[in-house]
Structure 1
């Protein structure tokens, strides 16, 4: 083959490669511009009627108004969020499947359970929906009304005091153990599969104390069926303004509130990720949405970027890991 023919085939191959690249780029741009081209699925890592489900439905309202496409909320509870995350992994590349889950899916669950996803590489938080946290609650007949009395009561018990949590290895568990360590009070953990059975036993007097999500405990607190002692938010919350924070009571180590967010696969189209972030932040700033959050015992989410949220979760992961090691916890 002479030089001219070599040059011809080289330029032909180069042109073909450029053409394929341009075609691929054009196809990706068209796909992003066309989004959404079909109904969007918001997969929820939690049961229907739960906190994540309620937040997803709030988000779906704003998405449908803004995008003009149906938004389907699908609850996939179980396996510590792994089922919902697996759905996102399988179906979320084009941005038509998104996930609503707590940040604990990255900072807590992989430490407490054996999961089949890489928390810091398989998931990307796009925007916060709300801030949420835990409240230390007590059986209504327990002779305590504040944290000082809880500590005194616990120390007066020969074998320590029992407390419930919604799941072993999660923050409801480690918060109780940390409180015991900070106050030199023996705290005996009783793990449950979810808040409802734990709250039932709390009301029945089978366990005197519990660290629970504010959202699930709030109706029982309001109706006087259980007592709120302290919350782990950095500041007092609107739903329970009379309840102090652990921070103001002298235990800043227990100020560990978390957040819910809408998540995508990291390789979902960048334009889709940006659109969802802008839409979510704008919708959740509306006064009517913020009022509904307060009714659920939640606070407005922050405006941190994906990178800032992941940095926060990495710090929380390290803290949670240290706590679990200190109690010799083994993943289930």
Structure 2
């Protein structure tokens, strides 16, 4: 009990306020979330990141019984979505679902308005993925030996496409050319859909694409899958060998999708989102849904491990771009 003697009121007031602040903070931390959580997606509605974000939204909603809003903000190679999270991250209610290439590829290929290793923080992997080398089906190129034989016979070089200039689909094709003595000539596109249409139309023979966008066309027999750029075979393409199996371990680096936050998001909230993501995405039924779109389940790596993987991938991509004398656009 506080008494009105000497300076007792002042000391008592400080004590009461301090205890109130501690109590209020503890209550706020325990109660989070008290309003809807936003998951910002750096891609179109219905795309890979959107599908994964909606799975994560299910997990957050089931655990905390609060609504989760999935908001698509495509464009500018992910910069629009990243800036949103940078601006809103302090609130603890806005998070990002994006591919690791936002850190390891985009800043090397394009001029961006964010610092990849300091403005966003990886919390957890949601899925892992790779690339697939696909071919026009009319060429009857059924394996990598066929592709190399075909490519080496092209006097003016063999043309290939990818979904974006300066990204891993581009550098993978150039690296394959160096490893197999094929003169690879790049054809750039903004996104996979039109490139796949032109591949099927015979505008060029080969393409390095994301597995999720090529998978429906591979399954329907409209294009041929030659090899995947991933450490192991992909569950969605069990009969397609990896480049590593075929003697090219240089083409085996995995990419991944994850949930990210602003580094200014309260650490206890970061941990809650990370724990929820890992727990939910380890469920067998959720992992089957991830595999159904041509991806593999994510690892349970720590944030430090994720940062180390990003730095390694960034260094590899920078080396490849330097070899082909690429300049950021």
1:86-101 aligned at under 5 Å gives the runs: 86-101=83-98
* Shift, 1:29, TM fit: 3.7
- Indicate which of 57, 61, 65 corresponds to 1:64: 61
1:229-268 alpha-carbon deviations (Å, 9 max, x no partner): 0001111111111100000000000001111000011121
1:217 matched to 2:182? no
1:45-88 alpha-carbon deviations (Å, 9 max, x no partner): 00001000000011111111111000010011110000000110
Q: Report what 2:289 is aligned to.
A: 292
Q: Report what 2:195 is aligned to.
A: 198
Q: Report what 1:146 is aligned to.
A: 143
- Measured in 2, the distance between the counterparts of 1:107 and 1:76 equals 20
Unaligned runs of 5+ residues in structure 2 are 1-8
* Shift, 1:143, TM fit: 3.1
- Indicate which of 175, 179, 182 corresponds to 2:179: 182
Q: TM-score, normalised by structure 1?
A: 0.93
* Shift, 1:21, TM fit: 7.6
- Measured in 1, the distance between the counterparts of 2:214 and 2:10 equals 66
1:38-53 aligned at under 5 Å gives the runs: 38-53=35-50
- Measured in 2, the distance between the counterparts of 1:146 and 1:131 equals 24
CA-based RMSD of the aligned residues comes to 2.0
* Shift, 1:146, TM fit: 0.4
SS for the counterpart of 2:33 is coil
SS for the counterpart of 1:304 is coil
Unaligned runs of 5+ residues in structure 1 are 1-11
* Shift, 1:28, TM fit: 4.3
1:266-285 aligned at under 5 Å gives the runs: 266-285=263-282
- Measured in 2, the distance between the counterparts of 1:169 and 1:23 equals 54
Q: TM-score, normalised by structure 2?
A: 0.93
Q: Report what 2:156 is aligned to.
A: 159
1:102-136 alpha-carbon deviations (Å, 9 max, x no partner): 11111111101111111111111111100111000
Q: Report what 1:3 is aligned to.
A: none
